A and B are shown apart, each in its own frame.
Chain A
């Protein structure tokens, strides 16, 4: 009896433990030939369907498995992709792209201009509900009909197998950067129609056209992309495969990097940064984007520009970026930071405000006090207790504590409310706050991408900033084809915003990561992407 009882007990435990079978999956490393680069750029992507993705890590993977009409090269310039050449009509309303000869999908079948027509229509399809549809195709003729379900109305046609013609309803001088945007990657009609949304979760149906194709995906563990022999530039691809380790925890990523299992990690634990100072494997590079605070202009006292100005002036951004955030951010003196391109291709920030920064990187307490007095609250008298809302991640809480301290110096009392991320987003969107943390990372390097969010009717205008002058300038920028006029209008918009203190730019974003010196031939772009397609591993 004793034995029987014990054996039953053990059997119960073992049945469950063996439910999944103890057969270990064959080592994935053997699947592909050639060198394998093992990297980490984020956890399991929510989706790697180009039309559905809106995340940076998903975008980074799509960038390796798909190729758009155009691409962005190592210098950040627009370069040929699937299209070898392209031209714009004089009125700026027609864009024609000429595809390369002999383009193929990863399954070996031919890729034609019709595939782009299908894919771009799919982005507009209300059934697909692509989050970026309006951003990337909103200026194309017939977009409003297409988004309502009449997909044929979209002004995208295949003149022949190798020529794609796009008709715009308003000129868009940066349409070339949109043609290089991951959302507009071609997808194969046959596999998408046969499998629905599920086409993008199974390597067998995830047909792509880029330098690599997905050969294995273990959700929550890794994605392996093998070299695509059918890619037009396959000869330049040196790696046999890339293993994207889907590590969620920064400390785990750091351990994997230290043990040598992963050669590049994006998520470096913040507490390790001081010890990495001067380490040549530790990289910090700018990306286009700004960490800023939104003022809810619909409530008092934030409807008063002088109050906003006072708050803006009292912050020591040098301290915030370099000490508090350990140099992983850069102090913001403008709304549009470095990396954004002016219409002539130069840096927009260099041309802003006559070449001068709008704000000093250090605090101007006297100026802040004066502005507050002008607002009718000398030394903060009569000013209610202000509230700051943020989620808890990265440096957000430390910044909140700093703001409390900094604004105290001009007589402002601040209370901090920390809320969970998923609750924070709707609160901010519905103006259920006074001051909130905010931020934006650019989708393409035209400054309109970031200025647009403060347009009075924009869905991302969380503070409800509303300035007729600002809106008028943005309207001009949207309609003109003259690059000089357009540039002037964009600069006027930023001038207006900064004079109004419509929001509070705090710091510019950077990417910081660890990368073994063995990796050669890769680059990091201002969009926050790592380009490994032409990388190699030194022995």
Chain B
């Protein structure tokens, strides 16, 4: 197990390095630069700025310098938000996104798994149909629509919930609901199909045949097997959701990391693009390792090698 984890971590570092390298060269291939604006900055000022941030050096040299810094945990200064380091942007904005995103994942798991089970156990009945219809909607409706509808009903019309910021617990309700909508629907469907799969297995029939309490057979045998695909999905979902959603953060004015991903690309803030990408890649890889370990705990038959 320990050897397995070490091997995975080694692979993780290689993966992150590849992602960082690709991002570095791709972003420099895109036209534009961080210091261009509608009004021309004087050539002199532009030259000093590029010198200050080392952008006047050959690309490969910039790459080496950046990588050296990154290995030592120095992700540099933001080129656009002068006075802020990339690290400070990530450390102030990630906790906000993680709080909202983590709660959304928690809710979608706690809601999606039971709904999927209920649906599977009532296959073909009214309850199943209703859940399937709602879940399909959840997958089909894009999040900006969910956000706008929620905002209009609860914020503008009923005035029950505040529409911007995160100053009170009430502010969390709409963004979490909007973020949890899709994953809840997805987990419900995933859970339903894998549950149906498991219920048709021989060992379930055996359990029923030997007169095992239905409740025990469901929880002890069916659920543990059926929940595996959900666990697989949970890893990447968590990594994506805790790093923030651009759309949800923009609509509810949440100071999270999601906006930085897109904002840094449109403004060509090279150091922030690199920092956030490496951060997301690292989180993603770590989540996948955790999922593998959880897998083993849920299903002892799985051997980690």
Interface residues of A (CB under 8 A from B): 2, 4-5, 8-10, 12-14, 16-22, 24-25, 27-28, 46-47, 49, 52, 54, 126-127, 129-131, 133-134, 147, 196-201, 218-222, 245-249, 251-252, 255-256, 258-262, 420-423, 425-427, 429, 439-440, 458-460
Contacts and interface: CB of A to CB of B under 8 A. Distances in A.
B40 A9 contact: no
B253 A245 contact: yes
Contacts of A27: 167-168
B253 A199 contact: no
Contact of A245 (B109, B152, B164, B224): B164
B168 A255 contact: no
Given A16-B238, A131-B45, 6 more contacts: A9-B234, A196-B83, A201-B83, A219-B81, A221-B254, A429-B40
A440 B38 CA distance: 8
B36 A5 contact: no
B169 interface: yes
Contacts of A127: 48, 52
30 contacts: A4-B297, A8-B294, A12-B294, A13-B106, A16-B98, A17-B103, A17-B105, A19-B95, A19-B99, A20-B99, A24-B168, A28-B167, A46-B81, A47-B83, A198-B84, A200-B83, A201-B81, A218-B255, A219-B89, A221-B165, A221-B253, A221-B255, A222-B165, A245-B164, A249-B253, A255-B152, A425-B32, A425-B36, A460-B39, A460-B40
A201 to B, nearest CB: 4
B92 A219 contact: yes
A459 B162 contact: no
Contacts of B109: 9, 13
Nearest to A27: B167
Given A248-B253, A439-B38, A5 B106 contact: no
Contact of B30 (A17, A130, A247, A423): A423
Contacts of B92: 219
B98 A17 contact: yes
A426 B36 contact: yes
A82 B101 CA distance: 48
A204 B77 CA distance: 20
A459 B99 contact: no
Contacts of B253: 220-221, 245-249, 252, 256
B198 to A, nearest CB: 15
B36 A422 contact: yes
Q: Which 3 A-B pairs have the closest CB atoms?
A: A17-B102, A20-B95, A220-B255
A154 B249 CA distance: 46
Contacts, number: 203
B93 interface: yes
Nearest to A133: B45
B220 A8 contact: no
Contacts of A218: 255
Nearest to B247: A249
Contact of A220 (B48, B99, B259): B259
Interface in B39-89: 39-46, 48-49, 52, 77, 80-84, 89
Nearest to A420: B266
Interface string B204-242: 000000000000000110011000000100100010001
A52 B108 CA distance: 45
A252 B238 contact: no
A426 B32 contact: yes
A246 B297 CA distance: 45
B156 interface: yes
Contact of A49 (B30, B33, B83): B83
Contacts of B168: 24, 27
Interface centre among A8, A46, A52, A427 (most CB of B within 10 A): A46
A426 B46 CA distance: 13
